Amino acid sequence: MNNRLFVAACLIFSGLLSGCASEGPPRDINDPTNSLVFGYIDMDEAPRGVNTATFLQVAPPSDTPYWETDVNKGLFFQAHLPPGSYQLTSLSGSNTIYDFPRQGNETSVRIAKPGIYFVGSYKYKAVKTGLFEAPKFSIERVKTPTEADLLKQILGNEAIGKSAWGGKIRARLAQLKR
């Protein structure tokens, strides 16, 4: 697959925002079936910033398929995902939603067994479009921050560090060092 994930963006008024995303079902942070899915987006070149990332659960089908999480300095992670297939479906901020396509989405991840899954680091790039076309953007995969860089940041989150994830993240970091 090309390393540039082209996606289309649309700006939607905030009234539409509420219908597009909802919380996933509540789960205990220490549930042994949880997976941690995380990534990074550099939005420096975007016209507007984002504060929320939403994962879509595509399988198994669910009536509550959206799993939201904060975006903090580009880092986003969800530590409550049950086994299934997911993809980043949108990044959103004030009055803005950057929609990702269902197909050709590089952030797609299939979780067969609980674990730690890195969907990649990306950088926002604007795409030139015609005057009357919907605005579009691409996100390019970038090498940094690395999986280890991001895991260290996640570990710094007090709730995560004190949960069952603390040990698992440290183990993964040790594995990455080898």
Partner 1 sequence: MTGNLKLATAFVLLGGMLTSCVLPQPRAELGNLSELRSDEVVIVGRVDLVPKLAEGEQKLEALGTGDAVNKVYLLTNEHYRVFEQEPRMSDYEGYIPAPLGKNFFVRSSAKPFYILGGQLRLTARGDDMSSAYFPGGMKVSVKPGDKAVYIGAIQYYRDEFFEVSRIVIVDDYDRANAEFKRTYGAKYSLRKALVTPVK
* 58: contact with partner 1 by CB under 8 A: yes
Sole window of 4-12, 71-79, 115-123, 145-153 interacting with partner 1 (rule: CB under 8 A): 4-12
Distances (CA, A) of 49 to 8, 58, 92, 99: 16, 26, 8, 14
131 makes contact with partner 1 (CB under 8 A)? no
Residue in 97, 92, 44 with CA at minimum distance from that of residue 69: 92
Where would I find the H helices in 56-163? 147-155, 158-162
59 is a contact residue toward partner 1 (CB under 8 A): yes
Select from 5, 36, 12, 2 the least CA-distant residue to 123: 5
Tell the smallest beta-carbon distance from residue 176 to partner 1 (Å).
27
Tell whether residue 139 is a contact of partner 1 (CB under 8 A).
no
Please report whether residue 47 would count as binding partner 1 according to CB under 8 A. no
125 binds partner 1 (CB under 8 A): no
Within the chain, residue ranges assigned H as helices are: 14-20, 147-155, 158-162, 164-177
Our CB check for partner 1 shows the closer of 138 and 157 to be 138
Could you list the residues that contact partner 1 (CB under 8 A)?
Answer: 1-2, 4-10, 12, 16, 19-20, 58-63, 85, 87, 99, 101-105, 108, 110, 133-134, 136
